[in-house]
Structure 1
Amino acid sequence: MKKARILVVDDDEFFRVLCSDILTSAGYEVVVASCGAEAVNIVESESLDVVITDLVMPDMSGLDVLQRTKQNNALVDVIVITGFGSIETAIEALKSGAVDYIRKPFNGAEILHTVSACLEKKKLLEENFDMKQSLRLYEITRVIISTLDINKFYHVAIEALLQTVEADAGISIMYASDNKTLDIMAVKHLNAEVAAQLVEYLKSKHEAELRALNTVMIVPLSDFSEEMRRVLGLTQTMLVVPIMKAGHPAGFLALLSGSRIFGQRDSVNASFIAEHVSQAYDVALQYTEAKETAFIDSLTNLYNSKYLDIVLEKEMKRADRHMMPLTVLFIDIDDFKQINDRNDHLVGSKVLVEFGKVMLKFVREVDTVIRYGGDEYVVILVDAEHEVSMKVAERIREGIEHTRFLAEDGMDIRITASIGVATYPTHSRDRAELLRIADKAMYHAKEESKNIVYLAPVPGPAKLPQQ
């Protein structure tokens, strides 16, 4: 068990030595100071548990030593000794933060009892603080672990760290898919431009350390360039926490502090949070993958019909917010049954896969291609009025018509498709009705001649009944 470290301050050598001998014989580690100035120097440079100081000294009073001790570390307890001073001075010391007082002349039993009681109280308070801190950390980690949405995760993670470690600002940054670029995922109490400069600085100056980081890293202000010091202003230090995946950092949480310097307790608490953040990140990724798999067609690897309502509702809301249209293409392969009849179902399945790939060539990344079922597909074109969408649909139709399907298998299968077109909000503002109109337009194309694009009739102004 670690010995308590006690500083004894008294200008009277007899009482200083007597007090030191009593405490040393009881197993305490004792440091002595013969004046207030010497005591303050020890308080500010060394680790202490208790300070025992005389109240009346020539250069600096015991009240001054008490004040300077509490300013440096409020957790260090101070016991004052009064002999020549009045009891009122001792009471003033208690009001200023002293835990107890002893009157000269004192005996060994009295001073040991006072010190023992002080340390026992300190221990109970620390245990209580640790218990409260543990409960608080537990509640914080529960929030992290329960966050399954990967986009919310980055915000929850940095907020959790800010709740655990006292800091002024924080950012979540993750390696992009190229495993080189660091993307900012969430920012708290920090200007976006400053956050970008900070990430760039970390990337350029601490690349090797970040790549190998598997524990909390504290970056002192002295490590920052003059330019970054100017940008960050009053920042004193930075704490970097790795988000681990498969033994390697997938990203980082970084905290900045201008009012204090991060210490050992901060590192311990941050490490605890880091472990749970990494676990939560892995769970959120698995959940995201599982969720996406539920909306992915197992044959073509395109989105499936379950995803259609979700994405269409989302895009319709976005269209409303930005006051822009979107168009639905309903596509059906012409005479697909004949492909299965002439070949086999394996060939038919391969055609469906390649058909999806052909369509993807003619749409943008922001657009969505869905296998609706069987040989039917739906394409959602965002920010596209029906005139533009007709041109896109025609390019898809031509691309399908001119593709030699399964050429890599030595086959030459030729197919065509019929496409129906309906636009939001021109044709309808209702999701189900918009799909029905596009579907009906596709069947009209089939009935007319197949291998064509058909735009659903655009509603005109209502006609007044004739008199």
Structure 2
Amino acid sequence: MAKARILAVDDQRYFRVFLEDLLVQQGFEVRTAGSGEEALHLLERERFDVVVTDLVMPGLSGAELVERVKARSPEQDVIVVTSVGDVRTAVEAMRTGASDYLLKPLDPTLLERSLDAILQRKRLRQEHAALMAENLEYLGVLSLYERTLALFSTLALEPLADRIVEGLCLEMRAQGGVAWIARADDATRLRLAAARGLVRVDREPEEIALDALPAELAALHRPEATPFLTESGGAPALVVPLRHEGRVLGFVRVTDKLAGAAFEERDRAIAERFGAPAAVAVANVLRFRALEHRSFRDPVTRAYTFAFFEDIVRNEIRKATRFGRSFSLLEIELRDFARFRRERSEADIASWLERFAFQIGRVLRTTDLLASASEDRFAVLLPETDALGAAVLKRRMREVLLRSDLCMGPGEDGPRAYLSAASYPVDGTQLEELRSALASRLVEDRESIVHELEGKPFPLVLDALAAKGQPLGADALGEILRFVLGEVERRAHERGLLCVAPGPELAGIARDELARFDPVHTRTELVLVAEERAASLAGAPITCVTPAQIGTRRPFLVYYAEGPGYALVGEPQAADGSTLLFQTGDRVTVEHLAFQLQRALGVPITR
């Protein structure tokens, strides 16, 4: 005899055949339908224990089929089969009454387990119906049954916990109840979710670890998951485990029966009958939350939605404020994307965005979080990352995009990527301040002269910058050099890079200033460009390189750190001591020069 009758609905013939063969092997009687309309005709003429339907079908979709079936027969169990990209539709199907959902590719074991669980619940309902017809306590059992059915009308955890506590208290005529439910992100810990009646919530633990249960709750680990008696504050209490598929999903402790009566065997029987569907309802809600979490991602790029991203950033701000940590945000803007989109098909754009997100993901860590605000704007959260760490990652990201085939380079026919970074707490301690910093730095990136210099070797970059210089008097360059090196020395405890090429005229000033740096507390990487290391710099934390290693004898200075950056490029001094000098505090330009030096010399940006 077949275990049950199943109706399998899918518009793809090979999947219908696959389902039919699989279910027949598992002992079920199977009928198939190639569309939602055909399935409705079969349901009008025949009875089926469970309907298994695909979500995405032409004509009547799987979600619409669920709604029509539940409207006609609320007791009919339906399992929806979906792909990861359809999880939002699956969420709606769960809301309209689907009993379960499974992801493609279909796991035969999970399908059989889901069907067995549904049939078990169906048999339980049938047994209840038969009992109510025969039992003298018909009205009491009916009330219990209706209360358990009401548990399945919500997919929110807190209201469900309230209903479970309320239902148990009413059925057992108790005046107090407390429920702890498993956390969605850590099933080994139970969170206080509901309380009712004569309960001092301030005396109850906020969380209970399943691996460290107090002695009075040790029976929760018993496999039979039956209600058991214990004490609470010296008074009798009945604990109702919420156990599903071998897992403890929570428990309810009921206290204070009316008139001081003791809990009896009848109360334990009611609690067991109520607790079984309550556990299934909790399992459904936790499963729904997991499904809802999947829907926080864009189906094409797999990036998180921006609303979810900002919630995570606000939570990161609270943690950083409390524990004194740092984190950074990146923003990526794709200019001319609207024109790029108009010239391509939807499939081409989806493929491009998928490859773009993949290239970004190549440089991210597992703890980083990529979000999409729109097709042309993305953001990244970098936990435990300071400003310099964010700059390093931003540079790698820019290089990966330029090396890719996504048409991101100068003069190429594609959207151009502009990047900005902001760090907590250097650039702000509130989300609005960090947003403002990101926006202003995007403008700086778009307007920076560095985009004219991309692809040029470092000596030619210096030549191009020097050509933009302004004339200065004979002593001006020396005064600027003293001032900048003095500022860097005061900030030498910060991580960063200082590279000085003073030229022969100002070598003495540079040596004197650099000799003052403390070798113990200096965290800035110091590089001096000179023909030889002076004796006065013995013991100083300085790396010396020759002009030949740099490829130019032009005087320059680059300082890049967590705070403001600075760069100057000069011409060799004329006979009268005058010179042309280019100087900038544009962080985009300074960052570009610092990373070119790092690549040329092999020195780290940070210590």
**TM-score scaled to structure 2, two decimals?**
0.37
Asked which structure has the greater RCO (Cα within 8 Å, sep 6+), the reply is: 1
Larger radius of gyration: 1
